[in-house]
Structure 1
Amino acid sequence: MKLLFIGDIVGKPGREIVTTLVPKLRVERGIDFVIANGENAAAGSGITASICKTLLESGVDAITLGDHVWDQKGFETDIVGLERVCRPANLPASCPGRTHLILEKNGFRLLVVTVLARSLMNLKADCPFLGIDALLTKLAGQFDGALVEVHGETTSEKQALGWHLDGRVTAVLGTHTHVATADASLLRKQTAFMCDVGMTGPHESVIGREIEPVISRFLDGMPRRFEIATGDNRLSGALVEFNAVGRAEKIEWLNLKSE
Protein backbone atom coordinates (compact mmCIF):
# COMPACT_ATOMS: atom_id res chain seq x y z
CA MET A 1 0.00 0.00 0.00
CA LYS A 2 1.02 3.62 -0.43
CA LEU A 3 0.52 6.81 1.52
CA LEU A 4 1.28 10.33 0.36
CA PHE A 5 2.04 12.87 3.05
CA ILE A 6 1.92 16.46 1.80
CA GLY A 7 4.02 19.12 3.56
CA ASP A 8 2.72 22.45 4.87
CA ILE A 9 0.19 23.88 2.40
CA VAL A 10 0.92 27.61 2.11
CA GLY A 11 -1.86 29.96 1.08
CA LYS A 12 -3.91 29.94 -2.11
CA PRO A 13 -1.04 28.71 -4.33
CA GLY A 14 -0.55 25.68 -2.11
CA ARG A 15 -4.27 24.92 -2.05
CA GLU A 16 -4.52 25.20 -5.82
CA ILE A 17 -1.69 22.80 -6.57
CA VAL A 18 -3.09 20.25 -4.12
CA THR A 19 -6.52 20.33 -5.74
CA THR A 20 -4.88 20.07 -9.18
CA LEU A 21 -2.36 17.29 -8.54
CA VAL A 22 -3.84 15.04 -5.85
CA PRO A 23 -6.56 13.47 -8.05
CA LYS A 24 -3.96 12.71 -10.75
CA LEU A 25 -1.39 11.37 -8.30
CA ARG A 26 -3.89 9.03 -6.68
CA VAL A 27 -4.52 7.38 -10.03
CA GLU A 28 -1.01 7.52 -11.52
CA ARG A 29 0.79 6.35 -8.39
CA GLY A 30 -1.87 4.05 -7.00
CA ILE A 31 -2.01 5.93 -3.71
CA ASP A 32 -4.24 4.56 -0.96
CA PHE A 33 -4.04 7.34 1.64
CA VAL A 34 -3.39 11.08 1.23
CA ILE A 35 -2.66 13.13 4.35
CA ALA A 36 -1.81 16.84 4.21
CA ASN A 37 -0.61 19.38 6.73
CA GLY A 38 -2.92 22.36 6.28
CA GLU A 39 -1.86 24.70 9.06
CA ASN A 40 -0.69 27.48 6.72
CA ALA A 41 -3.46 27.07 4.15
CA ALA A 42 -5.38 30.25 5.04
CA ALA A 43 -3.22 33.15 3.82
CA GLY A 44 -0.20 31.50 5.41
CA SER A 45 -1.55 31.26 8.96
CA GLY A 46 -4.01 28.62 10.13
CA ILE A 47 -6.92 27.10 8.27
CA THR A 48 -10.68 27.52 8.00
CA ALA A 49 -13.54 25.05 7.84
CA SER A 50 -14.27 25.97 4.22
CA ILE A 51 -10.65 25.37 3.20
CA CYS A 52 -10.73 22.01 4.97
CA LYS A 53 -13.83 21.09 2.96
CA THR A 54 -12.18 22.08 -0.33
CA LEU A 55 -9.03 20.06 0.36
CA LEU A 56 -10.97 17.00 1.47
CA GLU A 57 -13.22 17.15 -1.60
CA SER A 58 -10.11 17.25 -3.83
CA GLY A 59 -8.99 13.81 -2.68
CA VAL A 60 -7.14 14.48 0.58
CA ASP A 61 -8.22 11.90 3.16
CA ALA A 62 -7.09 13.71 6.30
CA ILE A 63 -5.69 17.09 7.36
CA THR A 64 -3.16 17.61 10.13
CA LEU A 65 -2.28 20.88 11.85
CA GLY A 66 0.58 22.46 13.81
CA ASP A 67 1.48 25.49 15.87
CA HIS A 68 -0.78 27.82 13.83
CA VAL A 69 -3.84 25.70 14.60
CA TRP A 70 -5.74 28.53 16.35
CA ASP A 71 -4.70 31.44 14.10
CA GLN A 72 -8.02 31.78 12.26
CA LYS A 73 -10.88 33.32 14.21
CA GLY A 74 -13.52 30.81 15.25
CA PHE A 75 -11.58 27.72 14.23
CA GLU A 76 -11.51 26.51 17.83
CA THR A 77 -15.27 26.04 17.42
CA ASP A 78 -15.24 24.78 13.83
CA ILE A 79 -12.65 22.06 14.45
CA VAL A 80 -15.04 20.10 16.64
CA GLY A 81 -17.24 19.27 13.65
CA LEU A 82 -14.40 18.39 11.25
CA GLU A 83 -14.21 14.60 11.37
CA ARG A 84 -11.11 14.22 9.18
CA VAL A 85 -9.00 16.95 10.76
CA CYS A 86 -6.74 16.48 13.78
CA ARG A 87 -4.79 18.99 15.85
CA PRO A 88 -1.47 18.17 17.56
CA ALA A 89 -2.06 15.36 20.04
CA ASN A 90 0.21 16.79 22.73
CA LEU A 91 -1.60 20.09 23.15
CA PRO A 92 -3.31 20.46 26.54
CA ALA A 93 -6.19 18.00 26.92
CA SER A 94 -8.63 20.89 27.31
CA CYS A 95 -8.04 22.01 23.71
CA PRO A 96 -10.84 21.20 21.25
CA GLY A 97 -10.39 18.90 18.28
CA ARG A 98 -9.35 15.32 17.61
CA THR A 99 -5.98 14.07 18.82
CA HIS A 100 -5.75 11.45 16.08
CA LEU A 101 -7.56 9.88 13.15
CA ILE A 102 -7.89 6.27 11.98
CA LEU A 103 -8.37 5.88 8.24
CA GLU A 104 -9.38 2.56 6.70
CA LYS A 105 -9.00 1.18 3.19
CA ASN A 106 -9.21 -2.42 2.00
CA GLY A 107 -9.22 -3.61 5.60
CA PHE A 108 -6.05 -1.70 6.55
CA ARG A 109 -6.36 0.76 9.43
CA LEU A 110 -3.94 3.70 9.34
CA LEU A 111 -3.49 5.79 12.46
CA VAL A 112 -2.69 9.45 11.73
CA VAL A 113 -1.30 11.59 14.52
CA THR A 114 0.69 14.81 14.82
CA VAL A 115 2.83 15.90 17.73
CA LEU A 116 4.45 19.28 18.30
CA ALA A 117 8.14 19.29 19.04
CA ARG A 118 9.15 21.61 21.87
CA SER A 119 12.64 22.93 21.00
CA LEU A 120 12.36 26.57 19.82
CA MET A 121 8.57 26.29 19.56
CA ASN A 122 6.24 28.75 21.28
CA LEU A 123 2.95 26.88 21.63
CA LYS A 124 2.34 25.13 24.94
CA ALA A 125 2.67 21.38 24.46
CA ASP A 126 3.34 18.27 26.52
CA CYS A 127 6.32 16.00 25.89
CA PRO A 128 5.94 14.55 22.35
CA PHE A 129 7.89 11.39 23.26
CA LEU A 130 5.75 10.48 26.25
CA GLY A 131 2.60 11.70 24.53
CA ILE A 132 2.96 9.46 21.49
CA ASP A 133 3.97 6.53 23.69
CA ALA A 134 0.76 6.92 25.70
CA LEU A 135 -1.39 7.24 22.59
CA LEU A 136 0.10 4.16 20.91
CA THR A 137 -0.51 2.18 24.09
CA LYS A 138 -4.07 3.42 24.44
CA LEU A 139 -4.91 2.58 20.81
CA ALA A 140 -3.12 -0.77 20.66
CA GLY A 141 -5.10 -3.22 18.53
CA GLN A 142 -7.09 -0.47 16.82
CA PHE A 143 -4.67 0.20 13.96
CA ASP A 144 -2.40 -1.74 11.60
CA GLY A 145 0.08 1.00 10.76
CA ALA A 146 0.72 4.56 11.87
CA LEU A 147 1.87 7.83 10.36
CA VAL A 148 3.38 10.11 12.99
CA GLU A 149 3.98 13.69 11.92
CA VAL A 150 6.40 15.68 14.06
CA HIS A 151 5.86 19.39 13.63
CA GLY A 152 8.99 21.08 14.87
CA GLU A 153 11.96 23.34 14.36
CA THR A 154 15.07 21.29 15.11
CA THR A 155 16.36 18.30 13.19
CA SER A 156 17.81 16.78 16.36
CA GLU A 157 14.45 16.51 18.10
CA LYS A 158 12.82 15.11 14.96
CA GLN A 159 15.58 12.53 14.48
CA ALA A 160 15.40 11.51 18.12
CA LEU A 161 11.65 10.93 17.86
CA GLY A 162 12.17 8.94 14.67
CA TRP A 163 14.60 6.57 16.38
CA HIS A 164 12.36 6.44 19.45
CA LEU A 165 9.49 5.15 17.29
CA ASP A 166 11.52 2.98 14.91
CA GLY A 167 9.76 -0.34 14.37
CA ARG A 168 6.60 0.78 16.16
CA VAL A 169 5.09 2.97 13.44
CA THR A 170 5.06 3.01 9.64
CA ALA A 171 6.49 6.50 9.19
CA VAL A 172 7.76 9.49 11.14
CA LEU A 173 7.69 12.56 8.89
CA GLY A 174 8.54 16.13 9.80
CA THR A 175 6.99 19.48 8.95
CA HIS A 176 7.14 23.15 10.02
CA THR A 177 10.39 24.58 8.58
CA HIS A 178 9.04 24.65 4.98
CA VAL A 179 12.48 23.53 3.75
CA ALA A 180 12.89 19.90 2.74
CA THR A 181 15.76 17.87 4.18
CA ALA A 182 17.84 15.37 2.21
CA ASP A 183 17.43 12.48 4.64
CA ALA A 184 14.49 10.40 3.41
CA SER A 185 15.36 6.90 4.59
CA LEU A 186 14.23 3.64 6.13
CA LEU A 187 15.39 3.28 9.72
CA ARG A 188 16.76 -0.02 11.06
CA LYS A 189 13.37 -1.52 11.91
CA GLN A 190 11.56 -0.39 8.75
CA THR A 191 10.12 2.93 9.81
CA ALA A 192 10.18 5.52 7.01
CA PHE A 193 11.71 8.80 8.15
CA MET A 194 12.34 12.34 6.90
CA CYS A 195 13.13 15.37 9.07
CA ASP A 196 11.06 17.73 6.93
CA VAL A 197 9.14 17.00 3.75
CA GLY A 198 9.09 20.68 2.75
CA MET A 199 6.23 23.02 1.91
CA THR A 200 3.53 22.92 -0.73
CA GLY A 201 3.24 26.34 -2.28
CA PRO A 202 5.37 29.06 -3.92
CA HIS A 203 9.07 28.14 -3.86
CA GLU A 204 10.22 31.42 -5.43
CA SER A 205 9.95 32.89 -1.96
CA VAL A 206 11.30 32.91 1.56
CA ILE A 207 9.42 29.98 3.12
CA GLY A 208 6.33 30.97 1.14
CA ARG A 209 6.45 34.75 1.55
CA GLU A 210 7.40 37.45 -0.95
CA ILE A 211 11.17 37.79 -1.08
CA GLU A 212 11.90 41.53 -0.94
CA PRO A 213 9.97 42.42 2.26
CA VAL A 214 11.71 39.58 4.11
CA ILE A 215 15.17 40.69 2.94
CA SER A 216 14.36 44.28 3.94
CA ARG A 217 13.22 43.16 7.38
CA PHE A 218 16.55 41.39 7.89
CA LEU A 219 18.42 44.53 6.76
CA ASP A 220 16.72 47.17 8.90
CA GLY A 221 14.42 45.37 11.36
CA MET A 222 11.39 47.46 10.43
CA PRO A 223 7.98 45.76 10.44
CA ARG A 224 6.45 44.86 7.08
CA ARG A 225 3.62 42.79 5.69
CA PHE A 226 4.83 39.42 4.43
CA GLU A 227 2.40 38.56 1.66
CA ILE A 228 2.17 35.06 0.20
CA ALA A 229 4.39 34.70 -2.87
CA THR A 230 3.13 33.23 -6.14
CA GLY A 231 6.12 32.04 -8.19
CA ASP A 232 7.33 28.49 -8.80
CA ASN A 233 4.40 26.70 -7.20
CA ARG A 234 5.14 23.09 -6.18
CA LEU A 235 3.71 20.20 -4.21
CA SER A 236 6.23 18.81 -1.75
CA GLY A 237 5.76 15.62 0.22
CA ALA A 238 6.80 12.05 0.89
CA LEU A 239 5.44 8.91 -0.73
CA VAL A 240 5.75 5.85 1.51
CA GLU A 241 5.17 2.27 0.41
CA PHE A 242 4.40 -0.22 3.17
CA ASN A 243 3.29 -3.83 3.59
CA ALA A 244 0.25 -5.48 5.13
CA VAL A 245 1.67 -5.31 8.66
CA GLY A 246 2.51 -1.61 8.41
CA ARG A 247 6.27 -1.93 7.83
CA ALA A 248 7.67 0.65 5.42
CA GLU A 249 9.45 -0.72 2.36
CA LYS A 250 10.26 2.49 0.47
CA ILE A 251 10.19 6.27 0.91
CA GLU A 252 10.44 8.78 -1.90
CA TRP A 253 10.52 12.58 -1.64
CA LEU A 254 8.24 14.30 -4.15
CA ASN A 255 8.64 17.88 -5.35
CA LEU A 256 6.23 18.42 -8.24
CA LYS A 257 5.02 21.27 -10.40
CA SER A 258 1.62 21.27 -12.04
CA GLU A 259 1.81 20.68 -15.77
Structure 2
Amino acid sequence: MSGWVTRRFGGRDVEMRVHHGAAPAVLLMSGAGQPGEYWRPVVEQLGERLVVSYDRPGMGATPWPGRLPGLAEEVATATAMADELGPLVLVAHSMAAFHAEALAREHPGAVRGLVLVDPSVEWPARSPSQPGTGRARAVARVSGYGLSGLGRAGAVVATLTQTSWSLPRIRRYLSVERLRQIFGQPDSLAMVTAELMAYERQAWDLMEVRERYAWPGTPAIVLSAERSGAEQENGRQERLARLLGAQLWPVPRSRHLMMLDDPATIARAVRRIG
Protein backbone atom coordinates (compact mmCIF):
# COMPACT_ATOMS: atom_id res chain seq x y z
CA MET A 1 0.00 0.00 0.00
CA SER A 2 1.38 3.38 -0.92
CA GLY A 3 1.32 6.35 1.43
CA TRP A 4 -0.98 9.35 1.31
CA VAL A 5 -0.32 11.77 -1.54
CA THR A 6 -1.96 15.01 -2.64
CA ARG A 7 -3.62 14.95 -6.06
CA ARG A 8 -5.94 17.30 -7.90
CA PHE A 9 -9.30 15.94 -9.05
CA GLY A 10 -12.26 17.96 -10.24
CA GLY A 11 -10.51 21.24 -9.49
CA ARG A 12 -9.78 20.35 -5.85
CA ASP A 13 -6.72 19.07 -4.01
CA VAL A 14 -7.43 15.88 -2.10
CA GLU A 15 -5.26 13.48 -0.17
CA MET A 16 -5.53 9.94 -1.48
CA ARG A 17 -4.05 6.54 -0.81
CA VAL A 18 -3.95 3.70 -3.32
CA HIS A 19 -3.81 0.02 -2.51
CA HIS A 20 -2.70 -1.62 -5.74
CA GLY A 21 -4.53 -4.72 -6.90
CA ALA A 22 -6.97 -6.04 -9.44
CA ALA A 23 -9.57 -3.89 -11.19
CA PRO A 24 -12.29 -2.77 -11.10
CA ALA A 25 -11.23 -0.04 -8.72
CA VAL A 26 -13.05 0.44 -5.43
CA LEU A 27 -13.46 4.04 -4.25
CA LEU A 28 -14.07 4.45 -0.51
CA MET A 29 -16.09 7.60 0.22
CA SER A 30 -16.17 8.82 3.82
CA GLY A 31 -19.10 10.31 5.68
CA ALA A 32 -19.20 13.90 6.89
CA GLY A 33 -16.08 14.90 8.77
CA GLN A 34 -14.53 11.44 8.71
CA PRO A 35 -10.97 10.76 7.56
CA GLY A 36 -10.16 8.11 4.99
CA GLU A 37 -7.99 6.39 7.57
CA TYR A 38 -11.17 4.97 9.09
CA TRP A 39 -11.46 2.67 6.05
CA ARG A 40 -8.21 0.82 6.88
CA PRO A 41 -9.95 -2.37 8.12
CA VAL A 42 -11.94 -2.56 4.85
CA VAL A 43 -8.81 -2.05 2.76
CA GLU A 44 -7.22 -4.96 4.61
CA GLN A 45 -10.25 -7.13 3.82
CA LEU A 46 -9.96 -6.25 0.11
CA GLY A 47 -6.29 -7.09 -0.22
CA GLU A 48 -6.65 -8.41 -3.76
CA ARG A 49 -8.38 -5.32 -5.17
CA LEU A 50 -7.38 -1.88 -6.41
CA VAL A 51 -8.74 0.27 -3.58
CA VAL A 52 -8.59 4.06 -3.26
CA SER A 53 -9.43 6.03 -0.14
CA TYR A 54 -9.29 9.80 -0.01
CA ASP A 55 -9.76 12.81 2.21
CA ARG A 56 -11.74 15.77 0.97
CA PRO A 57 -10.19 19.26 1.11
CA GLY A 58 -9.34 20.35 4.64
CA MET A 59 -8.54 16.90 5.95
CA GLY A 60 -4.93 15.85 6.21
CA ALA A 61 -2.39 17.95 4.34
CA THR A 62 -4.82 19.99 2.23
CA PRO A 63 -6.24 23.33 3.44
CA TRP A 64 -9.89 23.94 4.18
CA PRO A 65 -11.21 26.04 1.24
CA GLY A 66 -13.08 28.41 3.53
CA ARG A 67 -16.57 27.46 2.35
CA LEU A 68 -19.23 24.83 2.84
CA PRO A 69 -18.79 21.89 0.44
CA GLY A 70 -21.44 21.35 -2.22
CA LEU A 71 -22.84 18.22 -3.78
CA ALA A 72 -21.76 19.20 -7.30
CA GLU A 73 -18.09 19.55 -6.37
CA GLU A 74 -18.10 16.23 -4.54
CA VAL A 75 -19.47 14.58 -7.68
CA ALA A 76 -16.91 16.38 -9.85
CA THR A 77 -14.03 15.09 -7.71
CA ALA A 78 -15.22 11.47 -7.82
CA THR A 79 -15.97 11.70 -11.55
CA ALA A 80 -12.41 12.84 -12.21
CA MET A 81 -11.14 9.85 -10.25
CA ALA A 82 -13.28 7.54 -12.40
CA ASP A 83 -11.83 9.16 -15.53
CA GLU A 84 -8.38 8.09 -14.35
CA LEU A 85 -9.11 4.75 -12.70
CA GLY A 86 -11.92 3.45 -14.90
CA PRO A 87 -15.50 2.69 -13.85
CA LEU A 88 -15.64 2.47 -10.08
CA VAL A 89 -17.34 0.45 -7.41
CA LEU A 90 -18.40 3.18 -4.99
CA VAL A 91 -18.45 2.35 -1.30
CA ALA A 92 -20.08 5.33 0.39
CA HIS A 93 -20.69 5.80 4.09
CA SER A 94 -23.36 7.98 5.68
CA MET A 95 -23.59 11.42 3.99
CA ALA A 96 -21.31 10.26 1.15
CA ALA A 97 -24.27 8.20 -0.07
CA PHE A 98 -25.61 11.52 -1.43
CA HIS A 99 -22.44 11.89 -3.52
CA ALA A 100 -22.44 8.29 -4.75
CA GLU A 101 -26.08 8.29 -5.82
CA ALA A 102 -25.73 11.65 -7.60
CA LEU A 103 -22.62 10.42 -9.43
CA ALA A 104 -24.34 7.24 -10.57
CA ARG A 105 -27.34 9.21 -11.85
CA GLU A 106 -25.34 11.92 -13.63
CA HIS A 107 -22.50 9.75 -14.97
CA PRO A 108 -23.74 6.15 -15.08
CA GLY A 109 -20.81 5.02 -17.24
CA ALA A 110 -18.41 5.95 -14.43
CA VAL A 111 -19.98 3.60 -11.90
CA ARG A 112 -20.04 -0.21 -11.90
CA GLY A 113 -21.96 -0.50 -8.67
CA LEU A 114 -22.72 1.01 -5.27
CA VAL A 115 -22.32 -0.26 -1.74
CA LEU A 116 -24.03 2.23 0.57
CA VAL A 117 -22.78 1.77 4.13
CA ASP A 118 -25.43 2.78 6.69
CA PRO A 119 -26.33 5.61 4.33
CA SER A 120 -27.87 8.91 5.30
CA VAL A 121 -31.38 9.20 3.84
CA GLU A 122 -33.36 12.41 3.70
CA TRP A 123 -36.52 13.48 1.87
CA PRO A 124 -36.58 17.26 2.42
CA ALA A 125 -39.79 19.02 1.44
CA ARG A 126 -38.32 22.51 0.96
CA SER A 127 -35.03 24.19 0.21
CA PRO A 128 -33.06 24.82 3.42
CA SER A 129 -31.44 28.09 4.32
CA GLN A 130 -27.76 28.34 3.50
CA PRO A 131 -25.69 28.79 6.67
CA GLY A 132 -22.51 30.81 6.64
CA THR A 133 -19.02 29.72 7.57
CA GLY A 134 -18.81 31.59 10.87
CA ARG A 135 -19.10 28.50 13.03
CA ALA A 136 -16.43 26.64 11.10
CA ARG A 137 -14.08 29.60 11.31
CA ALA A 138 -14.70 29.89 15.05
CA VAL A 139 -13.81 26.23 15.54
CA ALA A 140 -10.58 26.76 13.60
CA ARG A 141 -9.68 29.79 15.74
CA VAL A 142 -10.35 28.01 19.02
CA SER A 143 -8.36 24.94 18.05
CA GLY A 144 -5.49 27.19 17.01
CA TYR A 145 -5.27 28.64 20.54
CA GLY A 146 -3.54 25.56 21.94
CA LEU A 147 -6.81 23.65 22.34
CA SER A 148 -6.19 21.06 19.61
CA GLY A 149 -6.69 18.34 22.21
CA LEU A 150 -10.39 19.13 22.12
CA GLY A 151 -10.53 17.84 18.55
CA ARG A 152 -8.90 14.57 19.50
CA ALA A 153 -11.20 14.21 22.48
CA GLY A 154 -14.18 14.87 20.24
CA ALA A 155 -13.01 12.16 17.83
CA VAL A 156 -12.81 9.67 20.69
CA VAL A 157 -16.33 10.50 21.86
CA ALA A 158 -17.77 10.40 18.33
CA THR A 159 -16.18 7.04 17.63
CA LEU A 160 -17.24 5.64 20.99
CA THR A 161 -20.89 6.53 20.35
CA GLN A 162 -20.88 5.15 16.79
CA THR A 163 -19.06 1.82 17.18
CA SER A 164 -19.22 -1.20 19.47
CA TRP A 165 -15.52 -0.81 20.24
CA SER A 166 -14.23 -0.37 23.78
CA LEU A 167 -12.70 2.91 24.84
CA PRO A 168 -9.14 1.47 25.10
CA ARG A 169 -9.42 0.03 21.58
CA ILE A 170 -10.62 3.36 20.19
CA ARG A 171 -7.78 5.22 21.86
CA ARG A 172 -5.26 2.82 20.37
CA TYR A 173 -6.79 3.19 16.91
CA LEU A 174 -6.88 6.98 17.07
CA SER A 175 -3.28 7.09 18.29
CA VAL A 176 -2.11 6.48 14.71
CA GLU A 177 0.02 9.52 13.89
CA ARG A 178 -2.00 10.59 10.87
CA LEU A 179 -5.25 10.60 12.84
CA ARG A 180 -3.61 12.49 15.69
CA GLN A 181 -2.48 15.14 13.22
CA ILE A 182 -5.84 15.38 11.47
CA PHE A 183 -7.89 15.83 14.61
CA GLY A 184 -5.39 18.35 15.96
CA GLN A 185 -5.36 20.63 12.90
CA PRO A 186 -7.51 23.79 12.82
CA ASP A 187 -8.28 23.31 9.10
CA SER A 188 -9.44 19.74 9.66
CA LEU A 189 -11.77 20.74 12.48
CA ALA A 190 -13.13 23.62 10.38
CA MET A 191 -13.80 21.19 7.55
CA VAL A 192 -15.57 18.75 9.89
CA THR A 193 -17.83 21.59 11.02
CA ALA A 194 -18.40 22.85 7.48
CA GLU A 195 -19.40 19.38 6.24
CA LEU A 196 -21.91 18.92 9.03
CA MET A 197 -23.39 22.33 8.26
CA ALA A 198 -23.61 21.45 4.55
CA TYR A 199 -25.70 18.33 5.21
CA GLU A 200 -29.16 19.77 4.64
CA ARG A 201 -28.19 21.62 1.45
CA GLN A 202 -26.58 18.52 -0.04
CA ALA A 203 -29.66 16.45 0.81
CA TRP A 204 -31.83 19.02 -1.00
CA ASP A 205 -29.48 19.13 -3.98
CA LEU A 206 -29.71 15.34 -4.29
CA MET A 207 -33.50 15.64 -4.53
CA GLU A 208 -33.02 18.00 -7.47
CA VAL A 209 -30.59 15.54 -9.10
CA ARG A 210 -33.23 12.83 -8.76
CA GLU A 211 -35.73 15.01 -10.61
CA ARG A 212 -33.34 15.59 -13.52
CA TYR A 213 -31.72 12.17 -13.85
CA ALA A 214 -33.50 8.83 -13.75
CA TRP A 215 -31.90 5.99 -11.85
CA PRO A 216 -29.88 4.04 -14.47
CA GLY A 217 -30.28 0.62 -12.86
CA THR A 218 -26.76 0.51 -11.43
CA PRO A 219 -26.33 -2.55 -9.16
CA ALA A 220 -26.49 -1.48 -5.53
CA ILE A 221 -26.46 -2.89 -2.01
CA VAL A 222 -27.64 -0.95 1.03
CA LEU A 223 -25.99 -2.09 4.27
CA SER A 224 -28.21 -1.12 7.19
CA ALA A 225 -26.63 -1.10 10.65
CA GLU A 226 -28.83 -2.79 13.22
CA ARG A 227 -27.62 -0.51 16.02
CA SER A 228 -26.92 2.65 14.09
CA GLY A 229 -28.07 5.33 16.47
CA ALA A 230 -27.49 7.77 13.60
CA GLU A 231 -29.96 10.30 12.24
CA GLN A 232 -31.33 7.89 9.66
CA GLU A 233 -33.79 5.15 10.47
CA ASN A 234 -33.98 1.66 8.99
CA GLY A 235 -37.33 2.47 7.43
CA ARG A 236 -35.73 5.25 5.43
CA GLN A 237 -32.99 2.94 4.24
CA GLU A 238 -35.59 0.41 3.10
CA ARG A 239 -37.26 3.16 1.09
CA LEU A 240 -33.90 4.11 -0.44
CA ALA A 241 -33.26 0.48 -1.37
CA ARG A 242 -36.61 0.33 -3.16
CA LEU A 243 -35.91 3.59 -4.97
CA LEU A 244 -32.58 2.25 -6.29
CA GLY A 245 -33.69 -1.33 -6.86
CA ALA A 246 -30.98 -2.27 -4.39
CA GLN A 247 -30.50 -5.27 -2.15
CA LEU A 248 -30.98 -4.41 1.53
CA TRP A 249 -28.61 -6.19 3.89
CA PRO A 250 -29.27 -5.74 7.62
CA VAL A 251 -25.97 -5.90 9.50
CA PRO A 252 -26.53 -7.27 13.01
CA ARG A 253 -24.58 -5.79 15.92
CA SER A 254 -23.05 -3.02 13.80
CA ARG A 255 -23.35 0.61 14.72
CA HIS A 256 -22.96 3.56 12.34
CA LEU A 257 -19.20 3.26 11.75
CA MET A 258 -19.60 -0.09 10.07
CA MET A 259 -16.15 0.04 8.50
CA LEU A 260 -14.82 -0.46 12.02
CA ASP A 261 -17.55 -2.74 13.39
CA ASP A 262 -17.94 -5.11 10.42
CA PRO A 263 -15.45 -4.53 7.59
CA ALA A 264 -15.87 -8.14 6.42
CA THR A 265 -19.52 -7.55 5.46
CA ILE A 266 -18.56 -4.44 3.50
CA ALA A 267 -15.89 -6.43 1.63
CA ARG A 268 -18.39 -9.20 0.91
CA ALA A 269 -20.83 -6.67 -0.54
CA VAL A 270 -18.09 -5.21 -2.77
CA ARG A 271 -17.28 -8.65 -4.16
CA ARG A 272 -20.98 -9.35 -4.73
CA ILE A 273 -21.34 -6.08 -6.69
CA GLY A 274 -18.22 -6.66 -8.76
Report the TM-score, using the length of structure 2 for normalisation. Answer: 0.30
Q: Considering fraction of residues, name the structure with more strand.
A: 1
Report the TM-score, using the length of structure 1 for normalisation. Answer: 0.31
Q: Considering fraction of residues, name the structure with more helix.
A: 2
